[in-house]
Structure 1
Amino acid sequence: MTLAVRKIVRHVEETRMEAGRALPRVHRVAIVAAVFDNPYPPGYVEDLVTLANEVGEELGTLVGPPCVDLLGEEVEAYGKAALVGIEGELEHGSALIHNLRFGDPFRRACGGTELLPAGEKTGLTGAPLDVPLKHKLNAKTRSHHQTVTLVVPDAPRPREIVVACLAANAGRPLARLAPFGSETAAA
């Protein structure tokens, strides 16, 4: 099966100042999203995995490596997203992105080893979706826990799905929390 892709969205956000301070380096986030017809038939379907396996690599290759290319520098944090339009199920988007055939092309392209954190929901056309990002090598790296909002103004339409990969070149701007677990360490 080949996905019926209506559009590809590419977006780069650059933050240069935070809390009135210039950042030591520009914080960049890249997003590549595919908007396509929901490949699952309307109504309840018991087996979602077979189709997700069938299209997983195609979909992952469509948005993962291009996201790394769009960032244009070393990826430090990453995430993924699925926004399912009405007349579809949340489980449709989940099946597509929670599949190693989807995630592996992105992980390989950016040298990541951690599972990709995900944002997923059903929504109306233009609905925002908050997507968590974490460090690509160590999900416990607090400085890299960040959330990016994804909006595609004309998607998803009914019976469409938006799937995206997101990559950041750094942790949060001006991150300064103590390392994970330090609050429980003996003094």
Structure 2
Amino acid sequence: MDIRKIVTIVDEVHTEGGRAVTPAARIAVVAAVIGNPWAGQGFVEDLAPGIDAHASNLGKLLAPLVLEALGAPAEAYGKAAVVGLDGEVEHGSALIHTLKFGDHFRIAASATTLLPAVEKRGPAGVLFDIPLKHITDATIRSHHQSFEVRVPDAPHAGEIVVALAAAAQGRPQQRLAALATEQ
């Protein structure tokens, strides 16, 4: 796996809606900027060899890093893949939409739900939002949130940004009723 760089972002919200958030609402993101394993090969019919070679290694690398950066147990999580302009969205999807990748994060976070995801293609510096949901119950509305990410110099045309996000809580000052109240 060709890793150009790893970017870590930690965001803490101390005030929301004019009120203190105690403890501060914390979200961490760790993104690896890697060479696209399918770059320069034209249309690749069988992505499985690249998935086998890289997906598990990426999950194993990123899962402990994002939880360490969070500094608290994760309550919500998500993932993203942003493919450079010479690749296909399917290249990013191939790396993150496999248990070989996601199970590393699920196990490390003691999670049971599917990891919400975003994947897209774009130039270096493109903005992307990582969706997050509760780690054991995707219907818990307080934990439905997203976090905006930008890696200024990535992805290059032949790269993929693969990212994991974790939150130590739901949205700051959330006040929506539980989903069960509408059923």
Q: Is the 8 A contact 1:85 1:161 kept in 2?
A: yes
Q: Distance in 1 between matches of 2:178 and 2:131?
A: 19
Q: Which runs of 5+ in 1 are unaligned?
A: none
Alignment of 1:139-158 (within 5 A): 139-158=138-157
Q: Distance in 2 between matches of 1:6 and 1:85?
A: 14
1:29 matched to which residue of 2?
Answer: 27
Q: Secondary structure at the match of 1:66?
A: helix
RMSD: 0.9
Deviations 1:94-149 (A, max 9, x none): 00000101011111111111110001100110000111000000001000000101
Q: Distance in 2 between matches of 1:181 and 1:84?
A: 38
Alignment of 1:67-82 (within 5 A): 67-82=66-81
Q: Distance in 2 between matches of 1:13 and 1:56?
A: 27
Q: Which runs of 5+ in 2 are unaligned?
A: none
Q: Distance in 2 between matches of 1:24 and 1:134?
A: 21
4+ long deviations beyond 2 Å: none
Cα offset, 1:49, TM superposition: 2.5
**What amino acid maps onto 1:34 in structure 2?**
A
Cα offset, 1:47, TM superposition: 0.9
Cα offset, 1:48, TM superposition: 1.3
1:174 matched to which residue of 2?
Answer: 173
Q: Distance in 2 between matches of 1:181 and 1:111?
A: 24
1:117 matched to which residue of 2?
Answer: 116
Alignment of 1:17-166 (within 5 A): 17-42=15-40, 43-166=42-165
Count of residues in Structure 1 that have an aligned counterpart in Structure 2:
182
% identical equivalent positions = 52
Q: Distance in 1 between matches of 2:10 and 2:71?
A: 10
TM-score by length of 1: 0.95
Q: Distance in 1 between matches of 2:35 and 2:50?
A: 14
